[in-house]
Structure 1
Amino acid sequence: GTGTSLGDPIEAQALLATYGQGRDVPLLLGSVKSNIGHTQAAAGVAGIIKMVLAMRHGVVPASLHVNVPSSHVDWSSGAVELVTESRQWPGVGRPRRAGVSSFGISGTNAHVIIEQPEPEAVPEVAAEPESFPASAGGASVALPVPWVVSGRSERGLAGQAGRLASFVRDRGLSPVDVSWSLVTSRAALEHRAVVWGSDVDELAAGLLAVAEGRLSGVVSAGRRAVLFTGQGSQRVGMGRELYDVFPVFAASFDEVCARFDGLLPRA
């Protein structure tokens, strides 16, 4: 749901009235926002992706960061249950089905029902995901992958790249496996480099360029900023209360506006 005291009860009551009546098995209710946040225009497709994966694995994912269902919803009016812990998809003697709702701006709503395909219609997953199918010439096309290395200093980065280049040669390692390990098991330090390649030799050559100081970069800590998206859903004057109440916001707003004075045309 939207995560608001206004929107969630409306959505939940609609589901209770539509799907929650005359059921022996409760409708299981979850929200993709609890998993990945608000994706705005991609909210609907994010929900579809989540449910397709849930069907494939036979698991109903939990809605995170909620322990007690909202008191603003009359949960006794139908058989709908909020999923607060992941569970196996219950068997009901038919293909799995799920409804995905996307509630947009100003009542632009959509709802789609998706159903598990027949077993024979499920395509086999390729054993080697790092290659495309055979091309017109008959040879498979290898996908490039990134190898990420980092260090506390330029010297540390160069040394890390050189050691990795020496380690991977002639070991028959999968570029995808090495890429995964570098991203998930190594610290992301200040001095970083990324090399791309389709095979170990190409990637090792990139690592040698890093080791020789020909490819690197420094990542700064940065500072947090808040930006209104400008995607059209805001109202006129929506920042006025912030401006009136918070001096820091008002000063920053004035500073930004002063930078644009004389640069932007005015009607």
Structure 2
Amino acid sequence: SNIGHAQSAAGVAGIIKMIQAIRHGVLPKTLHVDEPSTKVDWSAGAVELLTERRPWPEVDRPRRAAVSAFGVSGTNAHVIIEQAPATAPEEAAEAATPSVVPWLVSAKTASALRAQAGRLADTTGDFAPVDVAHTLLTSRSLFPERAVVIAEDHEGFDHGLRALASDGPAAELVTGTADVDGKTAFVFPGQGHQWAGMGAQLLEASPVFAAAMAECAQALSAYVDWSLLDVIRQTEDAPGFDRVDVVQPASFAIMVSLARLWQHHGVTPDAVIGHSQGEIAAAHISGALTLDDAARIVTLRSQAIGAHLAGHGGM
């Protein structure tokens, strides 16, 4: 693709054009050519103008294209672009896609918020939910009037958006006015907030959460004779949450890993607070305790409660 350009942006346009051509496997039609140059012997060799778009030939090598820029001063630039190698199998890409996605909608007024929700409901049906979520969060300004639609599929998003557009309620919809100057606090609870299977689906769906849980499991393994991941997945031989020396370290690990997931997505606390094992998690997230120190405290403390203190007023 030869780019004779009146400004430098034309060269960039040529690069973008050829990247898209490689991506889609299409040789683009040559534009603005009425007839081939008479200065070239087109009968010699196998070079010809692309008068019509055609599929990129299938060959056993990466696709390549060249973009040239010829300056009036005689300064020329030549760039060769090659198809990028596959970086990950489809299975891994699918596993990293969250099953539940939030769509953030914001506007300056409540009426504008409802109008935007209606437009989204009419135009987003053909796009992947995770792509819509990313675009809404990163490419639009955030205003005080806000709503979040949380769903797993287009049917859920459509239901939540149309409820927002009509100023009605929906299980998928959360509304409110943001305090743009407010601060964020992470609150970590104590025992009593756990439930069977908590974190198991997130462990499979979120690589960030899974990595944080693996770090917690490694830190806890020095003090316990059970596997954190087996407890979360509720495998047959794993101990249950009826044991205080299991539930407290496990819920500590869940809280730490959830905090790391929030931080990965850009939600960073200005303050942390917690109770019982939640206080230990808060101390670690704040940086006051290393993960190894926090794991030691939460496990030895819970073991002491179970063996000596529970029911005797020792706390």
TM-score by length of 2: 0.31
TM-score by length of 1: 0.35
Structure richer in helix, relative to its length: 2
